[in-house]
Structure 1
């Protein structure tokens, strides 16, 4: 039943449904998802039984803290159906989340990611510059969060060019050759936030280099902590990118390995948007009750995408607030929000923070 439902869900537009319309979808398919994981994942069943729920509904099911995926093997598929295991960011010695994926869930992630990203890139694959080194995706069975991000977004590019060497030094001949070849075309640049800042933009500044791109889109994500420590704001990041790269549209996005596929991209107004297949609640740190618009709390992410593991309701270690619902000036429907920081004493686990 879970897999057949996706024939209807995949065809939906990413930002066309109102919050009320999306709530009806979550009520129907979310309930099926909770029952699916209850029946196929024993640790998840134990959690729900512990809370003595009167109904196994999406609304009543408690969110799983991200640490649960570090401490327990949470999967709703048989071991021999595991096709890939993805892991969260983590410094040496830290435990990492392990996310178990089968081929069906991976294919679905790619389709949903494609629907979201095409909203920003268009339908045509673009020349792609990746601000990382190629060895980050060398293990085809087990990907880190960085590898997952690169592998997923590489589907929207061609002539993939890695800007960095394995020691994180910039490969100037490679980068300059790519820029020269495609400077008059629309190009796609992707990297994790701090890495783009430190290993590209800061080196362009240090070496007094500037590229004159005519039409580029820079998509970046993850690990703002190091930039905040350096007093680098989102606006300064964008301004610096445009100063050294030329005509480039810069979009941050928010996502995590526990809910790969349903990313939340920053619109032209600077707001992060929930696509059709995901939702966000900002909850009180005291009782996890959802907070009203503009009230800061802990970010709780909902997604209809995870079927091979119980990642449909995640309590993150990030703080933020809802900006509004259905009324963003950009025209996209649904909730839109801001991320403001990390819960105190949370591990540093953003992809680029970990690298730094």
Structure 2
């Protein structure tokens, strides 16, 4: 008997804090026991680093450093039950993380991702442009993080058009024709932030031209902000350039990682990242690891009710962020909301927009 999800899929952003905390705490304590019984390295880490017994608060839940997935093969199911392995997109020369999924975990991730996006985009599947190459999707059993995200998000759209070729060159003529054939309704453009910037926006600028996506179209993008920050490109400049070159005004960023596929934190109309009902976030002091309150920057710990095949339910990331509040965002969505400030100093650049595809 696996650990069930604590809430209905339709209640993604309308469960008040007291109810959510109780449900998530019970689920995450149960997941901790599930993985401790089935994954010896996780059990050893939990017993060594954290007090015995169930946690009394979300902040007291045991967690693993996310980079542990680079050095250990962590599974909580028999290896023959694995149907898919995701590989993180670390920089060349670094050991990638490997995340092993069984069928039940993969199904849970897909259902929750769809429910999160439905809450933002609506139920209608829009025609979809992917700012990437279709070549990434050739092996359906072993993906790097970028390819896994492309496949996962592709279910949100229809009539897909991959705007980049295998060399990541923009197919301007093909995109023109596709947009002309879908001019009568909004379109969903999906891509990793750095690829959208470099291979769509900047490519069009070099050509001295712009495209016009239909009115009401969306850009959904995530990852790769470190690369844009190195080029001194701000969130505001990115959005302005998207409006100028693509004619898209509805732009939403998301925060997520391969170690918790299916759990993403979407950007709302106020520019905040929101915790869905099956996930949560804790900000910890970078030196003491004590939990911090709103307005205090620290290291992000991310929690997810989804992973069954590997102990990825409570992870200390290498990202810095700041919590803004809970249940009181002006957008009306309930849950904790926050911003990501960047990577910790000396942390490995491991964004999903890394264009390397492992063999």
User: Shorter-normalised TM-score: what interval?
Assistant: over 0.9
Who is 1:34 aligned against? 32
Q: Residue 176 in 1 paired to residue 192 in 2?
A: no
Give the superposition deviation at 1:9.
2.7
Q: Within the alignment, does 1:267 sit opposite 2:265 as a pair? A: no
Q: Does 1:321 align with 2:325?
A: no
Aligned-residue Cα RMSD (Å) equals 1.5
Query: What's the TM-score, normalizing by structure 1?
Result: 0.96
1:311 is the counterpart of 2:306:
no
Q: Quick one: distance in 2 between partners of 1:353 and 1:331?
A: 34
Asked whether the equivalents of residues 264 and 272 of structure 1 are also in contact (C-alpha less than 8 Å), the reply is: yes
- 1:264-306 Cα distance to aligned partner (Å, 9 max, x none): 0100000000000000011001121111101000011011111
Q: Counterparts of 1:355 and 1:278 in 2: how far apart (Å)?
A: 29
Distance 1:52 1:67, change over 3 A: closer
CA 1:38–1:82: 2 relative to 1, 3 Å: same
| Displacement of 1:61 | 4.1
Whether the aligned pair in 2 keeps the contact of 1:186 and 1:215 (CA below 8 Å) is yes
Aligned to 1:243: 244
* Residue aligning to 2:44: 46
TM-score (norm 2): 0.95
Instruction: Name the counterpart of 1:187.
Output: 187
Give the deviation of 1:210 after TM superposition: 1.5
Per-residue CA distance 1:218-262 (angstroms, 9 max, x = gap): 000001011111111111111110111114310000000001111
Output one character per residue of 1:154-196: Cα deviation in whole Å (capped at 9) or x when no partner.
0011111111111111111221111111122111100000100
Cα deviations across residues 2-49 of structure 1 (Å, max 9, x unaligned)?
34x23x534341100122221101121111111100101111111122
Aligned length: 354
Q: Residue 285 in 1 paired to residue 286 in 2? A: yes
Give the C-alpha shift of residue 54 in structure 1.
2.6
**Corresponding residue number in structure 2 for 1:140:** 140
Measured after TM superposition, the shift of residue 122 of structure 1 is: 1.1
Residue 2 of structure 1: SS of its match in structure 2?
Answer: coil
Structure 1 residue aligned with 2:16: 18
User: Are the aligned partners of 1:91 and 1:354 in contact in 2 as well (CA < 8 Å)?
Assistant: no
CA distance in 2, matches of 1:70, 1:61: 22
Alpha-carbon separation, structure 2, partners of 1:141 and 1:153: 17
Quote the Cα distance in structure 1 between the aligned partners of 2:137 and 2:124. Answer: 24
Alpha-carbon spacing, 1:171–1:129, altered in 2? closer, same or farther (3 Å): same
Separation (CA, whole Å) in 1 of partners of 2:67 and 2:249 = 37
Aligned partner of 2:167 in structure 1 is: 167
Q: Partner of 1:252: helix, strand, or coil?
A: strand
* Partners of 1:323 and 1:56 in 2: CA distance: 28
1:300 counterpart residue number: 301
The answer as to whether partners of 1:279 and 1:335 remain within 8 angstroms in 2 is: yes
Kept after mapping to 1: 8 A contact 2:50/2:62? no
After superposition, residues 51-90 of structure 1 pair within 5 angstroms as 51=49, 53-57=51-55, 60-90=60-90
Flag structure 2 segments of 5+ consecutive residues without an equivalent.
none
